[in-house]
Structure 1
Amino acid sequence: MDDAAHPHAIPRSTRPPLRELWRFAGPHRARVIGAGAASVANKAFDVMPELLIGAAVDVVAQGEDSFIGTTFGIADRFTQLSVLVAITIVIWVFESVFEYVAIVQWRNLAQTLEHEARMDCYRHVQTLEMAYFEDRTSGGLMTVLNEDVNQLERFLDFGPHRLIITIANVVFVGGVFLVVSPSLFLLAFSPIPAIVVASLWYQTRLEPRYARVRAAGGTIGDTLTNAIGGMVTIKAFGGEEREAARVGADSEAYRDANRAAIRFSTAFNPIIRMAIMAGFVMTLLVAGRAALRGDLALGVFTTLVYMTQRL
């Protein structure tokens, strides 16, 4: 029976999942913002080594006319490289510190939201009419209260951090390209709209597959719960093989649903990498030609090539 038939069934949100999660995390938004700021700072320092690589190449190629030389008034190349080493150490320390702070904050927040989601869901279950439980198995409810809530915790452990640093990476790298050359920015970032569209398309196609995985997981959970609970009866009537075959069939269905989801989801990264390759090739050709003509400094060219790979 559909949930809509029960006036007290567990409500299904019509909002996008991330928006619903943001609403649920309302009492902890200050912590979310703090963790997000740490993630952005982590990525900002993480991008800087590419700038230092370009600066090092610039020192070797330009000598006292390099950016470091003119900025700090240092003529000796080795001294310039020593300055770069000191800056590198500071950047790596801050990058590591902010990564630690961000991950600890996100994981602590994940534990808090996992607990609150489980308790919120259980309290709601206690308010349901008995008719709801007549049409539901305990395995299905346990899937929601335990497995689904655990999945939420696993997502919150690293999901928001990775999402934020990915967006920050595009913004920071795009900012460098835009400052250096707007035309190179347009060429290198031309695949980004295609990547966004592909990601949204992939999400819509992936959701039904993982819904089938979840349904199959609930079924095998029900089967195992019933089989273990009725073990005395099974043994009394010699039904071991029959029950083993039933468990095996449900387990096979769960494995097949997972395989279908894995095949589809695994293809996402290689396809996206091909789109990024187009931007990398354009940067290599156009920026390389500008460097050969002398219109683009060798250090800047090196930085752009390295940064394109970060996309």
Structure 2
Amino acid sequence: MSSSSSFQALGRLLRYARGYRGRIIAATCCSILNKLFDIAPEILIGIAIDVVVNQEQSFVAKLGFVEAREQILVLGVLTFLIWAGESLFEYLYQILWRNLAQRLQSDLRQDAYEHVQRLDMGFFESKSSGQLVSIMNDDVNQLERFLDGGANSLIQVFVTVVAVGAVFMVLSPQIALLAFTPIPIIIWGAFYFQRKAGPVYAEVREKVGELAGRLSNNLGGIATIKSFTAEAREAERLRQSSEAYVEANRKAIRISSAFIPIIRMAILVGFLATFILGGLKTLDGSLNVGAYGVLVFLTQRLLWPLTGLAQVIDLFERAMASTRRILDLLTTPVQVQDGGEGLTAPVKGEVRFEGLSFHYPSSGVGVNDIELTVAAGSTLALVGATGSGKSTLVKLLLRFYQPEQGDIYLDGKSLARLDMQQLRQNIGLVSQDVFLFEGSIRDNIAYGRPEASEEEMVAAARVAEAWEFIERLPQGLDTPVGERGVRLSGGQRQRLSLARALLKDPPVLILDEATSAVDNETEAAIQRSLRKIAHGRTVIMIAHRLSTIVHADSIVVVDQGRIAEQGRHAELLARNGLYAAQWRVQTGEIAPAPERVFA
């Protein structure tokens, strides 16, 4: 990674932070003033030496303070004011930079999260949750650490060089030339280090994401790891990821550690030039003794802080590597755009697929030329083999993906023109893979309608046949469900998911194999619930148990992304096609053909 790319990342960050321009300017001004006050005591020391040596002939005497005692008192007052000014501006710049760091990191994380929520589901197929968490947490924190201290240090190094250089040029241009000789070497070394460190820190950030992804994946699958007694194997895989991160950091440390000793020797050359040449000039009377003292002290003030330039650039490179990842995430294009048009109330729930085609970029599978109409208030069942395209139709209806061809209409309006939030508010989803958020049962049932009353929640739970088990729990609706609902059984989680969808009261309800992973008792309970809630509502069911869909108004068999058959249960049996074959398999009349198993 070149130095230009780091400055490009800085430019992108400044453009993002343009709303903070006033705070950045104020913090920068305080850093500058603090450094000017910080340099001033060295100048006062030189003036004090001049007062002691020359007394009535000193520089201060020319300002109207003739007596030496009076001059010392004036210098004492100035020293107090300078130290007070330095302390005041140090307090101010720390307050400003740290608050800016906190505010900016919070906004970056929030903006990144909100942007990620708008991205289509295809994006999440290419990024692990661990990588995204690493960007929104670790990378944002890395930038915060730079703003907390590194930004001020860079500004103050620049101010030191300019201010001290100006004093040197006034007192002795010849010594200034020699004292400043190491600075080009130091700057060249800093940029050389930056060029070397850039790609290394980019690799460090990448390894952090991989490590976070491994941890997230393993902790989420801890039950599977235990059941397969794979603890040792997973610990070894984590160790390898951790070692890769350590090795990436080792390279960065090796580069940054070499910088300081080299710069230290360059600094020594500048200091010796001032010390020796200035001393000789003072001895032959061509340089005032007080000016010599100022030059010696300011040389150290100028050069020794540059040894910390390596750490500052180290922070800068880490921060810019993180900034690139954050801003790249923020600029990831949203493929599924919000149409913004509202639905006409009341929503009836007629769904129409016209010439719909879509294929997943990673696998190429999908659906082709789907023509299908679901009448408002009717129940449609989608059946077919795994990977045939059933769930893809549901995801397209929810606008998780953008169709390649064709369109979907809700009550005659193209989904592409609709306000996405309003569209999804009118569609309820009960999935096979139930996701419950950490919190209480109450929180999860009311997730779609946080303002719902307890009576409405209880009513939804009763219809979903969940109230019976909720009522038996010691804390009732306030019972914690644990992370992803681990404290509840699969059947209980499924019933809560149904209650959550019912409380939302959507005109269109999607059941994506909602009974495939539950026991017979729970399935029977859910089926009873469905008979209650289907009235006056459009229901789209994906099912592999054909016994659960025999009463559907329409059954569509999807095969290899296309509609193979369509009709009611009796009609499809009479047709003696794919549906009839699978019915015979599930009722035990015939052994299944592997490529025609519905799931």
The reply to whether TM is greater than 0.5 is yes
Give 1:71 shift.
2.1
Give 1:168 shift.
0.5
Give runs of aligned pairs for residues 39-188 of structure 1, distance below 5 A: 39-76=31-68, 78-188=69-179
After superposition, give the CA deviation of every residue in 1:117-138 in whole Å (9 maximum; x if it has no partner): 1122222212323222112111
Query: How many Å separate the matches in 1 of 2:187 and 2:115?
Result: 37
Which structure has greater helix proportion?
1
Give 1:304 shift.
0.3
TM value normalised by structure 1? 0.91
Query: How many Å separate the matches in 2 of 1:205 and 1:75?
Result: 58
Question: What is the aligned counterpart of 1:27 among 14, 19, 22?
Answer: 19
Give 1:68 shift.
2.2
Which has the bigger relative contact order, CA under 8 A and spacing at least 6?
A: 1
Distance 1:166 1:14, change over 3 A: closer
Query: How many Å separate the matches in 2 of 1:169 and 1:52?
Result: 16
Give the match's secondary structure for 1:157: helix
Give the match's secondary structure for 1:295: coil
Query: How many Å separate the matches in 1 of 2:210 and 2:80?
Result: 54
Tell me how large the CA RMSD over aligned residues is: 1.6
Moved more, 176-185 or 189-198: 189-198
Distance 1:14 1:161, change over 3 A: closer
Q: Hey, which bits of structure 1, 4+ residues long, moved more than 3 A? A: none
Query: How many Å separate the matches in 2 of 1:189 and 1:208?
Result: 31
Letter in 1 for 2:46: G
Give 1:228 shift.
1.1
Give 1:15 shift.
6.3
Native 8 Å contact 2:65 2:71 kept in 1: no
Partner residue, 2:233: 242
Matched, 1:196 2:187: yes
Q: Figure out how many residues of one structure are paired with residues of the other and give that number.
A: 298
Give runs of aligned pairs for residues 192-231 of structure 1, distance below 5 A: 192-231=183-222
Letter in 2 for 1:26: R
Paired-residue identity, %: 48
Letter in 1 for 2:9: P
TM value normalised by structure 2? 0.48
Query: How many Å separate the matches in 2 of 1:211 and 1:164?
Result: 24
Give the match's secondary structure for 1:238: coil
Partner residue, 1:293: 284
Which structure has greater strand proportion?
2
Give runs of aligned pairs for residues 255-266 of structure 1, distance below 5 A: 255-266=246-257
Structure number, greater radius of gyration: 2
After superposition, give the CA deviation of every residue in 1:73-123 in whole Å (9 maximum; x if it has no partner): 2323x4432322221111000100011101101111111211221122222
Give 1:271 shift.
1.9
Give 1:14 shift.
8.9
Gaps of at least 5 residues in structure 2 are: 303-599
Partner residue, 1:278: 269
Give the match's secondary structure for 1:67: coil
Partner residue, 2:293: 302
Query: How many Å separate the matches in 1 of 2:6 and 2:285?
Result: 56
Native 8 Å contact 2:42 2:297 kept in 1: yes
Distance 1:88 1:39, change over 3 A: same
